[in-house]
Amino acid sequence: MIIRLEDTTSAAVAYRLVTVREEGGVVALGRVLTLIVLAHGPEKVEEAIEVTNAASREHPSRVIVVNTRPPAGADGLDAEIRVGGDAGASEVVVLHPRGAAAVDQDTLVTPLLLPDTPIVAFWFGRTPHRPAAEPVGRMAQRRITDIISGITDDPATSREARLSLALLGANYSPGDTDLSWARITLWRSLIAALLEIEDSPLESIDVEGAQDRPSMHLLAGWITSRVGVPVRFHDSGGIHITRVDLTFASGRVRISRPLDSAAATISRAGRPDQRMNLPPRTTTDCLMEELRRLDADEVYADALQHAVAAL
């Protein structure tokens, strides 16, 4: 069910949300957090709602989506309340501020916050250079960005993605993270397992993927922060990491995953190949992972600093 409110206020939206719950017979909600989504434009608003609806099945939340690219017009606020099948396991409030109403985002969302629950901020479609200094970022215990949600086919946005990663590193605050980090969780687990079972020293690592994607640089930064060996980049022309070569004193171990595959092949000289499940992760998968923790991710912080130093 979608209820639309025009020329309204945040307080009026909060009151209507209560009445909707009472009329629907909802007594206990069990929401575990308030997720504030800053979506850049109407298209990103709908994409973000689709992602958060799926993620809500693991993390029931009150989701407040703010359109940060408001339409032209007089000062004011239009809103939507989405419940039931249009909101997954959450309740979704969509805010379309206009003019001066779009300036103070923290004031805009404050009447809608759940009491005594953590606040998570999620930027989708545009990455702030300093999330912890943003109005909503100052309210949040956890701040999630997604650099690639703003990448298009324009080469300029690829350069902007690398700049965004560098600025996130320069302005990092505990509680910050980017979904590019969660996108390489399976790669990191597999590489860590291989490093654990090899007895000979690691000499170098080669990573093949899209050099405009932050995940590739974060993976290299994580490897450097953990084992301190040089990492060489190779551009695959695709959008995912496709190969990692671990060169040990005793020989090379190659992990390869074609762009159209959800499985990786592990190759060693003198041994039969192994196949491992290694599917590309969706935005929903990554968001669900990041919502599982509200404390600072020190491993991500180390990987980010090493990735930025190598840019």
pLDDT tens sequence across 245-256:
999 999 999 999
| 288-298 core/surface letters (b: 16 or more CB in 10 A; e: else) | bbbbeeeebbe
Pairing of strands 142-145, 176-178: parallel
Per-residue pLDDT tens digits for 91-148:
899 999 998 888 889 999 999 999 889 999 999 999 999 999 999 999 999 999 999 9
- Tell me the fold of 184-280: Glutaredoxin (3.40.30)
Give the mean pLDDT of 233-256: 91
Give the mean pLDDT of 11-21: 89
What is the pLDDT at residue 101? 85
First-to-last C-alpha distance (Å) of the chain: 47
With 0-12 / 13-18 / 19 or more C-beta atoms within 10 angstroms meaning exposed / middle / buried, residue 120 is buried
| Summary mean pLDDT of the chain | 90
Indicate yes or no: pTM above 0.85.
Answer: yes
Give the containing element (helix H, strand E) for 61. Answer: strand 61-67
Q: Find, among 230, 234, 244, 233, the residue nearest to 278 by Cα.
A: 244
Higher-confidence position of 153 and 137: 137
Q: How far apart are the C-alpha atoms of 305 and 170, rounded to whole Å?
A: 8
Q: Give me the DSSP letters along 98-119.
A: EGGGGT-HHHHHGGGPPTTS-E
Neighbours of 307 (CB within 10 A): 28
What is the pLDDT at residue 154? 66
What is the pLDDT at residue 27? 42
Query: Are the C-beta atoms of 139 and 108 separated by less than 8 Å?
Result: no
pLDDT confidence of 28, banded at 50, 70, 90?
very low
Q: Find, among 235, 191, 190, the residue nearest to 211 by Cα.
A: 235
What is the pLDDT at residue 24? 63
- Residue 279, CA atoms < 13 Å, CB-side half-sphere: 5
Task: With both helix axes pointing from N to C terminus, report the angle between 155-170 and 298-310 in degrees, rounded to the nearest 10.
Answer: 120
Query: Are the C-beta atoms of 50 and 17 separated by less than 8 Å?
Result: no
Domain-wise residue ranges, the chain: 2-178, 184-280
Q: How far apart are the C-alpha atoms of 80 and 8, rounded to whole Å?
A: 10
